[in-house]
Amino acid sequence: MSGFFKPESDKFYPLYQNPAQKLVEMTKLLEKMLYVDLEQKKRIAREIGALEDQANDDRDKITAEIATSFVTPFERDDMFSLAQAIERAIGLIDNAAELLIMIQFDDVEYLPSKVTRQMNLIRSSADAIYEAMLDLKHVTKLEKFWGIVRDNEHQADHFRRSMLTKLYTREEDPIRLFKVKEIIELLEEIIDGLLHIAHVVEIIALQEQ
């Protein structure tokens, strides 16, 4: 909101911190889920699903607060977009957890080593987003956070292309190829979802300058 009058309300900021914190927790669980047996995967998937349910409650609180408040710290559409972007990234993590159960992936030794690096980038981006939400009140000073997320996405895209090239040229088992490809692609979707959050924050910052 531009002009000489810019209303702010501190009550909104913690509402975004809550789902962002769950986002961090879910990325840690997903990383762990990749490298355990199927029974442990099922237990971790339930934990991830419970966190998604809690994050949905957080989103509902944000939506209700925006709808019922006379003034908001940023444009209402932007605040809705930010809540939706966080929700989408959380949903992508839950989707990945469900896929690991559905395809019954238990061949940990066949995961490309760069999957670990891909997960490290996901965790780094989630951490950066959480740090940004902690300082959302100073949104115009958060350039370093969305810069981290953007750089991570570029690296992850390179890893994805490299892994898929090796997978298609070296993997002879079509079932295993399908499973590993699905994991690589889903992790890339999560990276893209985290980048979308950073883009929304960047747009808000540009409008608030």
Q: Which domains does the chain have, with CATH numbers?
A: 10-208 (1.20.58.220)
- Per-residue pLDDT, averaged over 171-178, amounts to 88
> Could you give the C-alpha distances from 34 to 25, 85, 138, 187, in angstroms and in order?
15, 24, 36, 11
Tens digit of pLDDT for each residue in 41-52? 999 999 999 999
* 105 vs 21: CA distance, rounded Å: 28
Query: One-letter amino acid identity for 140?
Result: T
Residue 169's pLDDT is 92
Q: Which two tokens stand for residue 66?
A: 């925006």
pTM above 0.85, yes or no: yes
Residue 14 pLDDT more than 70?
yes
* 182 vs 125: CA distance, rounded Å: 21
Q: Quickly state the pLDDT bin for 9 (edges 50, 70, 90).
A: low
* 76 vs 146: CA distance, rounded Å: 21
* 25 vs 137: CA distance, rounded Å: 23
Which segments of the chain does DSSP mark as H helices, in order? 13-34, 38-68, 76-102, 114-134, 143-170, 174-208
Residues of the chain above pLDDT 90, percent: 58
